[in-house]
Amino acid sequence: MLLQREKSLLLMVDFQAGLLPVVDGGQKAVNEAAWLGEMACLLEVPVWLTEQSPEKLGGSSVSLLACLNNYRIWQKQHFGAMAEAEFREALNATGKTQIVLCGTEAHICVLQTGLGLLEAGYDLYWLSEASASRRAQEASLARERACANGAVAVTADMVAYEWLHRCDTALFKEAHQRLLKPRSSRPVRFF
């Protein structure tokens, strides 16, 4: 099934300043999330972020937030965001059915959020390059487990081009000029 921007929401889980320095591949994950987040904002796809106990782990990466012009932050205590009633109810109220998911740590909060989304009936797209853990093996196993339960592994480029849908529009030209360039030219720092 193709992603459609009218049905989509980008959910970034716990890209927090206190956690990112110990995450294997954390810099790459943040860069990919920032790139797709900027694309989502351009295409008016809602961008939501979660923060796990921010008083302990810090808030969302400031440089990630600087790439987004429109987003909503949810603070949580449960590892899985769907266990938070206010979050679950607000997500349901959006009418969005396709959730593009990424974040840290992939094997804990991202996975539990993803499994909760699948259980609630959402179509889940696991953004592989933007999901990381302290140990790479755990991130890989988390993706495998999510996909075994119905998630679809995707890349940022897959998502962006499916959201854009065609190449002969002014929106595509704007997106291509602003965003469809190598991620390495757009470094994002954790702090």
**Per-residue pLDDT reduced to its tens digit, 90-133:** 999 999 999 999 999 999 999 999 999 999 999 999 999 999 99
User: What integer pLDDT is reported at residue 191 of this predicted model?
Assistant: 38
Q: Which of 19-33, 108-122, 144-158 is predicted with the least confidence, judged by mean pLDDT?
A: 19-33
Model confidence at 3: pLDDT above 80: yes
* 93: exposed, middle or buried (Cβ count in 10 Å: 0-12, 13-18, 19+): exposed
Higher pLDDT, 175 or 117: 117
Question: For the chain, what is the mean pLDDT?
Answer: 92
Torsion sign, CA atoms 160, 129, 138, 73: negative
DSSP sequence for 38-101 = HHHHHTT--EEEEEESHHHH-SB-HHHHHT-SS-EEEEESSSSGGGSHHHHHHHHHHT--EEEE
pTM value?
0.93
Q: How confident is the model at residue 78 (pLDDT cuts 50, 70, 90)?
A: very high
Domain ranges of the chain: 5-185
Q: Which residues of 2-25 are buried (b: 16+ CB within 10 A; e: fewer)?
A: ebebebbbbbbbbbbbbbbeebbb
Q: How confident is the model at residue 48 (pLDDT cuts 50, 70, 90)?
A: very high
* Cα→Cα distances 132→99, 138, 171, Å: 18, 8, 31
Record: fold of 5-185: Rossmann fold (3.40.50)
Highest average pLDDT, of 16-25, 26-35, 92-101, comes from 92-101
- 3-state SS of 6-32 is HHEEEEEECCECCCHHHCECHHHHHHH
User: What integer pLDDT is reported at residue 188 of this predicted model?
Assistant: 46
Return phi, psi of residue 19, to 5°: -100, -40
